[in-house]
Amino acid sequence: MLYPFKFQPILKDKIWGGQKLQKILKKPTTSAEAGESWEISDVQGDTSIVSNGTMAGTSLKSLMELHTTELLGHKNFQQFGTKFPLLIKFIDAKLALSVQLHPNDALAKSRHNSFGKTEMWYVVQADSDSNLIVGFNQPMTKELYLKHLEAKTLECILNFDKVDAGDTYFIEVGRIHAIGAGVLLAEIQQTSDITYRVYDWDRVDSEGNHRELHNDIALEAFDFDMPDNYRVNYSRDSQTSTELVSCPYFTTNVIEVKTSLLVKNNHDSFMIYMCVEGSAVINIEGYQTEFSMGETVLIPACIKSFSISTNHAKLLEVYI
């Protein structure tokens, strides 16, 4: 019998990382530069391992190979086979990340034999005056962008958005972006680790080296004509499911639960719950799975009905 799966977090130290993953989300790390916690991953070399129940110690890859449509859903298995299509993360930026963008499916396939990297952000916590960089602050052309890049004045044309907890952004491929210092967020994305870094604030690592930039190959990935539709507007007063992002790669809802919620899975897809506030219990035919802020649960597609009970929890619900 399949059940709701929790996984061992895959922790990544980064030059820009901090201590919020441990202090706020209770991740098992003492590093002062913990930048990412990969919650569910099928990236080669970083496959998630089940941490709960009778299948503890089993890899996500093995689960997919053994249970295929039961875990993934029929349409997902037909489209992706036994490649899990989403990468789920928490990210702590003590310092600003590099300014970057990601390729679309076609470019990523031809260059890297990978999916593209459409993604979204949900801000879990933000220090005062912290920001996200998304897009440009003026109409942009390739020629104007290159002029500022060569003059080292890229910051002058970037759009800085001050953010707070609950703010949500949809980052389509081809859009320049960066997570600013002081932001802790949940990231939902296609399974891809392809990033084109175009500016890194002129910083160096502990050995005095600059990180690699990808300005030449990034140019083909840019979409300079994208509308400024990246910030997601949604009602924050609802105590039921509210859609944040729906795109061909994933749908994400935010759900605030204060008592009990019965969920019917009609999507022919697995469902993922990320707890971004409080704690909750998922109940399935007498099987209980507890999870709290900073934890993520994968519910197999074959589980069509379950309840979520809590005194208070805020959850991100993700499916395809």
Report the alpha-carbon distance of residue 50 to residue 162 in Å, rounded: 37
User: 118: which 2 tokens?
Assistant: 């459409």
Helices (H), the chain: 20-23, 60-72, 74-80, 105-112, 142-150, 215-218
Report the alpha-carbon distance of residue 29 to residue 22 in Å, rounded: 6
Active site residue 197: yes
Question: Which residue is it, tokens 């990340």?
Answer: 97
Considering only CA atoms, which of 191, 188, 192 is closest in space to residue 318? 188
Residue type, position 51, single letter? S
Helices (H), 190-256: 215-218
CB-based contacts of 280, cutoff 8 Å, min separation 6 = 257, 273, 290, 291, 292, 308, 309, 310, 313, 315
Contact (Cβ atoms closer than 8 angstroms) between residue 159 and residue 133: yes
Report the alpha-carbon distance of residue 272 to residue 317 in Å, rounded: 6
Report the alpha-carbon distance of residue 56 to residue 73 in Å, rounded: 22
Q: List C-alpha distances in Å: 200 to 30, 96, 281.
A: 26, 9, 41
Which residue in the list 111, 175, 197, 211 is annotated as catalytic? 197
Catalytic residues: 197
